Amino acid sequence: MTHLWVRHEQRPHEERVGLTPEGAARLIAKGFRITVEESPTRCILTAAYANAGAEIAPAESWPDAPADAIVFGLKELPEDGTPLRHRHILFGHAYKGQPAGQVLLARFRAGGGVLYDLESLVDETGRRVAAFGYWAGYAGAAVALKCWAAQGRGTICGPLAPYAGRDALLADLRAEVTGDPRALVIGAKGRVGTGAADLCEAMGLSVTRWDIEETASGGPFPEVLAHELFFNCILARPGAPVFVPESALLKTRALRVIGDIACDPTSDFSPIKVYDRVTDWTAPALRVATDPVLDVTAIDNLPSLLPVESSQDYAAQLLPSLMALDALDAGVWGRAKAEFDRH
């Protein structure tokens, strides 16, 4: 019997989950055993999983799960250095040379476990089967607007907290945001860019949508500096154009807030060269210039701002793959295992 163990997320400000009670019920109907850890923070109540037929375990008890259980979470495991003996499904961020990723892989090597990285769950064409991208874009644009509103008050954006839903977020923004900043979204045809543009349009802002065609020249791109808000929604990779060079800080510009939703400032290929570290929920904005003001916001778990919508959307995308967990050597799981073995 395939045993899926859904763990409580131990990272602060993380309320999302990759399986809904409805999805759990479908897996149980197929013959899977489902265990869900109790969680004081998960956006979906534990009781709903119990009502769907799942077994309930104490929070953070996954290290003692049966050896054949597949442990499923979204964000990183506690960095305690312990060997990992289970098969784990999570966002490992371990295959691009990240220092923390190398430590994670060493823990799997030491314990004999396997990482099925959610970033490596791809179809036959190499496209991710499930992604939080849309909600990362939507929430990232919302945080950037909060930064803009704070500038208007002569302050810097303060701590964030999750919203009960999209309507609550929009109501808060409408009460807070004044003026009509123009927004430029690069990567507008992708999931992330679509989400960012949709938030801006829901707020009645003028949005310029750019994608590969508009950036094919390689730059420079003075249009970026002519918009008050700029959203980078493309991944850092070799050959990526630089959209905001260091020299932008010295030039006349309308630009006041950069939402680096792709959020990879330490990469050599980052297209945003005016900052060097991520921001977080406690301090969402990094002020990189004062005359005139320029803030950068770059948070790596943005969809948690809207945990219910983002969880429901992601879980629906992922469920068909979870239904195939009883055939781990084939399809998306076989490809993810091959990627793990390669690294």
Structural domain contains residue 182: yes
CATH number, position 178: 3.40.50.720
Q: Are residues 96 and 221 in the same domain?
A: no
List own/partner pairs for 173-177 with CB under 8 A and 24 or more apart: 173/142, 173/145, 173/146, 173/149, 173/203, 174/203, 176/145, 176/146, 176/149, 177/145, 177/146, 177/148, 177/149, 177/203
Is the pLDDT reported for residue 236 higher than 90?
Answer: no
Tell me, yes or no, whether 72 and 185 share the same domain.
no
**50's tokens:** 């119990």
Tens of pLDDT, residues 128-170: 999 999 999 999 999 999 999 999 999 999 999 999 999 999 9
93 is an active site residue:
yes
Q: Does the global pTM surpass 0.95?
A: no
217 & 322 share domain = no
Residue 96: per-residue pLDDT: 78
Do 47 and 185 have their domain in common? no
Reading the block at residue 35, the tokens are 């265990």
Q: Which of 75, 86, 146, 337 is catalytic?
A: 75
Least confident of 12-16, 50-54, 57-61: 12-16
Strand order of the β-sheet with 33-37 is 55-57, 33-37, 3-6, 70-72, 87-90, 114-117
Comparing 52-56, 70-74, 175-179, 236-240, the range with the smallest average pLDDT is 236-240
- Find where tokens 């629906």 sit: 316
Catalytic residue (one of 3, 93, 273, 343): 93
Domain of residue 279: give its range: 133-305
Does residue 185 share a domain with residue 51? no
Helix, coil or strand: residue 215: helix
Residue 47 lies in a domain: yes
* Whether 298 and 335 share a structural domain: no
Question: Six-digit token pair at 37?
Answer: 């850890």
Question: In this structure, are residues 19 and 6 in contact, taking their beta carbons and an 8 Å threshold?
Answer: yes
Average pLDDT over residues 108-129: 97
Is the domain of 273 the same as that of 158?
yes
For residue 128, being part of any structural domain is answered with no
Rounded Cα gap, residues 273 and 244, in angstroms:
6
Residue 337 pLDDT greater than 80, yes or no: yes
Residue 130's pLDDT is what? 97
User: 296 with 318, same domain?
Assistant: no
Task: Please give the tally of structural domains in the chain.
Answer: 2
> pLDDT band for position 176 (50/70/90)?
very high
Decide if pLDDT at 254 tops 80. yes
In angstroms, rounded to a whole number, what is the distance separating the alpha carbons of residues 269 and 278? 15
| DSSP per-residue codes, 130-146 | ---HHHHHHHHHHHHHH
Residue 151 lies in a domain: yes
Assigned domain for 126 exists: no
Specify the 3-state DSSP secondary structure of 88: strand
3-state secondary structure 223-277: HHHCCCEEEECCCCCCCCCCCECHHHHHCCCCCCEEEECCCCCCCCCCCECCCCC
Instruction: Specify if 181 maps to a domain.
Output: yes
Q: For 74-104, what is each residue's pLDDT tens digit?
A: 999 999 999 999 999 999 988 877 788 899 9
* 145 and 18 fall within a common domain: no
286 and 312 housed in the same domain: no
23 and 163 assigned to the same domain: no
